[in-house]
Amino acid sequence: MTEQSVQIRLATPQDKDTVCRIFQEAGLETEAALAEGTTYWIMQRGGQPVGAIGLEHGNGASLLRGAAVLPSAQGQGLGRRLVMSAVEYARARGDQAIYLFSKKGDWQSFGFTQVPLAVVMSDVPDTPQIRAYRARSERPGGTTWMRPLDVKASQA
């Protein structure tokens, strides 16, 4: 098969349906996708959307809100490229850390370590996903992960 070019582009409000479709096909919730205070991206291969990812921004930290690759395109390195691109964006934004909730999977190979739920709840309390949990008096299930970004003062 010929190698098709892969591009990650910023999602606009008009891309909401595309982002939600990719999240749904990957088994993720779509609640508050592209809400205010977030940045989302779409990954395209050969011009077709194959993945999406979002960051919900807090003050000095972000919550990785869904990393999704269509099932037919998984296992080919696309997810890693998406996640690393979001990590670099957060670092450039000056974030000290990225958090993530996952129901399955081991995120250590992406540089994340497990942290108690209380850490993310207090560090990014006003992100859309955490607000939504609070409004429903629910707690995110699964595992909470954090990736420190080691932003040096000289780079700020």
Q: List residues binding ligand COA (CB under 6 A).
A: 26-28, 66-69, 74-80, 102, 104-105, 107, 109
Q: Which is nearer to ligand COA, 80 or 154 (CB)?
A: 80
What is the distance of C-alpha 86 from the center of its chain? Answer: 7
Report the first-to-last Cα separation within the chain, whole angstroms: 43
DSSP state of 153: G
Distance in Å, CB of 25 to ligand COA, minimum: 9
Distance in Å, CB of 37 to ligand COA, minimum: 18
Distance in Å, CB of 124 to ligand COA, minimum: 15
For residue 49, give both structure tokens. Answer: 């959307």
Cβ neighbours of residue 37 under 8 Å, at least 6 residues apart? 56, 57, 126, 127, 128
Closest to 98 (Cα-Cα) out of 58, 54, 64, 127: 64
Q: Which is nearer to ligand COA, 69 or 149 (CB)?
A: 69
Q: Which is nearer to ligand COA, 106 or 126 (CB)?
A: 106
Q: Which is nearer to ligand COA, 95 or 144 (CB)?
A: 144
